[in-house]
């Protein structure tokens, strides 16, 4: 099917979903988007997309993309009251860009397969800026022919698209990547206040970290923002915490020791208990700054 003959549906126009949907318009396919918030529609309507607040209205699409906050909302959107799945027909494809648990992903794939509906889990990595630029990393789980069908569309939103294996493999790959990022963020929160406590200049320390061997994507993203006291540029901690829960469940089920991750999880939990859940992961530093009575900020902030 030519892309200009294809009908696409897209549910979820949040921080990542809206720029992804805008980039899907580059495919030339007819796009209908759905969200519970009509105020998210204006830019997409201006670019030629159709809009609806009812996810069931996406049932006519050949391929439906989901970009939703968590596993519970994904399952409700598909199988809940007025959900999408009962209205889909055999041969359609559902592509889930959300980050959900591996167990839920496999269950969704099996339930849809019983109806003759193909499923690809395709979580993304790269934050909002790369979602806008269409340069995300996309990790895919699904049958090879199904992934091959959707890959040209995924190339509109990402520059690195990797087929990891059967359904659920994309979620596992995303989880591994995310946990490494989470651990790095927790390490910054713990170690940087120590540097300030010992009298080291935060701006000079930031320069050393981001040009030295302590550098990571987390440090490059968060450290300049920590110096400014900016904790709102990334994904909220209360939403990101689901990755740590998923990892703990997998580690317990498979008997895999993960002591470093367990320690990082404690840092997240302290930040959440302190009421910092609406801040991004850089906000974890507030826990240790409070404990040590210091701030890791540039002068005058």
Residue 101: CA atoms inside 13 Å, Cβ hemisphere, count?
17
d(CA 241, CA 238): 5
8-state DSSP, 125: E
d(CA 10, CA 33): 5
d(CA 45, CA 51): 7
Q: Is 265 helix (H, G, I), strand (E, B) or coil?
A: helix
Of the listed 87, 103, 174, 281, which one is catalytic? 174
Does 103 qualify as catalytic in the annotation?
A: no
Residue-wise DSSP of 49-93 = -EEES-GGGGGG-SEEEE--SSHHHHHHHHHSTT-SGGG--TT-E
β partners of residue 10: 33, 65
Q: Annotated catalytic sites, by residue?
A: 174
């Amino acid at each position: 099917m030519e892309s200009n003959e294809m009908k696409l549906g897209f549910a979820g126009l949040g921080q990542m979903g809206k720029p992804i949907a805008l980039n899907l318009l580059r495919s030339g396919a007819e796009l209908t988007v759905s969200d519970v918030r009509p105020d998210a529609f204006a830019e997409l309507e201006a670019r030629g997309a159709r809009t609806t607040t009812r996810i069931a209205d996406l049932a006519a699409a050949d391929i439906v993309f989901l970009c939703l906050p968590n596993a519970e909302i994904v399952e409700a959107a598909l199988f809940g009251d007025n959900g999408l799945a009962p209205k889909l027909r055999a041969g359609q494809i559902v592509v889930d860009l959300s980050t959900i648990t591996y167990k839920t992903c496999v269950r969704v794939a099996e339930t849809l397969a019983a109806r003759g509906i193909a499923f690809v889990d395709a979580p993304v990595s790269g934050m909002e800026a790369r979602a806008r630029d269409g340069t995300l990393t996309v990790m895919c789980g699904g049958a090879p022919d199904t992934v091959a069908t959707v890959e040209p569309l995924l190339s509109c939103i990402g520059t690195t698209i990797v087929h990891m294996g059967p359904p659920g493999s994309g979620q596992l790959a995303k989880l591994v990547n995310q946990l490494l990022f989470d651990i790095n963020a927790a390490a910054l929160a713990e170690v940087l206040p120590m540097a300030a406590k010992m009298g080291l200049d935060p701006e000079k320390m930031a320069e050393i970290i981001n040009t030295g061997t302590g550098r990571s994507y987390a440090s490059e993203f968060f450290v300049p923002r920590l110096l400014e006291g900016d904790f709102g540029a990334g994904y909220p901690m209360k939403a990101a915490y689901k990755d740590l829960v998923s990892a703990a469940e997998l580690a317990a089920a498979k008997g895999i020791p993960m002591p470093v991750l367990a320690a990082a999880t404690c840092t997240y939990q302290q930040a959440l208990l302190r009421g910092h859940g609406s801040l991004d992961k850089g906000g974890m530093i507030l826990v240790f700054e409070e404990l040590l009575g210091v701030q890791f900020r540039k002068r005058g902030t």
